[in-house]
C-alpha cells in the first residue's frame, strides 16, 4: 500500500474524494498526511474528520519562496511519501523541489492543458464560448501547469450554462478521474521515465494520454 501526501490550499473536496476512495479500497494507497499553505483551508477540517494528520506551512510566514519550499521539502522528506498529490494547491513550486520529487508529484488542473494554464479557467471557457471543457492531471514541473500530461477528462458545454453549472460539473469529473489515476500510479501502471509518462495495462485507445469523456 502506497503512502500518499496531499497538498491543499482551500476547500479540499478532492482531498475528501481521495480519502474516501482509499477507504473504499478503490486506491491501493493511504493518505498519511495533509499539508496546507493556508491555515484557514477547509480541507484541514476534512482531514481532521477522517483522523488524518495535517500540517500548515504558511507561505506568508517566510521571507522568500525558496525558504517556504525548503521547509516544505524538509517536511516531505520526513514523511517519505510514495506519491504527492497537489489538489487545489495554489502555489507555484520552483525547480529544486519539483526536480527532487518529479517522479512522484502530480497536479490536478481545471482545464484541458495546454489551454488555460493558471487561474480563472472556467471564466475563460465562458468568455471564449468554448464548447468543451475539462480537467488535466499531470506530473509537476517548475513551469506553471506544464509538466508531462497523464490524463484528461472532458465535458461538452452548452451555451446556456452558468459559471456555477460548469464548476459543479467539473468537480464531479475531478472526483472520478483523480482517484482513478492515483490508483493506477499506486499500482505502478503509470510512471514517469526520462520525463515521459509510461503506461502499463491501460488501454489508451491510440492516445498518448488517458482521455475520458463524461456525460455529467
Residues 6+ apart with CB under 8 A from 33: 5, 6, 52, 53, 54, 55, 79, 81
Give the integer Cα–Cα distance in Å for 118 and 102.
20
| Residues, the chain | 216
| Cell numbers linked to 40 | 484557514
Contact (CB, 8 A) for 150 and 210: yes
Contact (CB, 8 A) for 37 and 59: yes
Put the strands of the sheet holding 54-56 in their side by side order: 54-56, 29-36, 2-8, 83-86, 105-109, 132-139, 149-156, 210-213
Closest to 33 (Cα-Cα) out of 56, 67, 14? 56
Catalytic residue (one of 33, 109, 122, 133)? 109
Give the integer Cα–Cα distance in Å for 62 and 80.
24
What Rg do the C-alpha atoms of the chain give, in angstroms?
17
Respond yes or no: is residue 138 known to be catalytic.
no
Active site residues: 109
Amino acid at each position: 500500500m502506497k503512502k500518499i501526501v496531499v497538498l491543499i490550499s482551500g476547500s479540499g473536496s478532492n482531498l475528501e474524494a481521495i480519502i474516501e476512495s482509499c477507504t473504499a479500497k478503490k486506491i491501493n494507497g493511504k493518505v498519511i498526511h495533509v499539508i496546507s499553505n493556508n491555515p484557514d483551508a477547509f480541507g484541514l477540517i476534512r482531514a481532521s474528520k477522517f483522523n488524518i494528520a495535517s500540517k500548515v506551512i504558511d507561505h506568508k510566514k517566510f521571507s522568500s519562496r525558496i525558504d517556504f519550499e525548503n521547509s516544505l521539502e524538509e517536511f516531505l522528506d520526513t514523511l517519505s511519501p510514495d506519491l504527492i498529490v497537489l489538489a487545489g494547491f495554489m502555489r507555484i513550486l520552483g525547480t529544486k523541489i519539483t526536480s527532487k520529487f518529479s517522479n512522484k508529484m502530480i497536479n490536478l488542473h481545471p482545464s484541458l492543458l495546454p489551454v488555460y494554464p493558471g487561474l480563472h479557467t472556467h471564466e475563460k471557457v465562458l468568455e471564449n464560448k468554448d464548447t468543451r471543457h475539462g480537467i488535466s492531471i499531470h506530473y509537476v514541473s517548475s513551469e506553471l501547469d506544464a509538466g508531462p500530461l497523464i490524463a484528461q477528462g472532458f465535458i461538452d458545454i452548452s451555451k446556456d450554462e452558468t459559471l456555477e453549472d460548469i464548476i459543479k460539473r467539473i468537480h464531479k469529473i475531478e472526483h472520478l478521474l483523480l482517484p482513478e489515476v492515483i490508483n493506477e500510479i499506486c499500482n505502478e501502471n503509470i510512471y514517469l521515465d526520462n520525463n515521459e509518462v509510461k503506461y502499463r495495462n491501460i488501454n489508451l485507445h491510440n492516445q498518448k494520454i488517458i482521455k475520458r469523456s463524461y456525460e455529467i
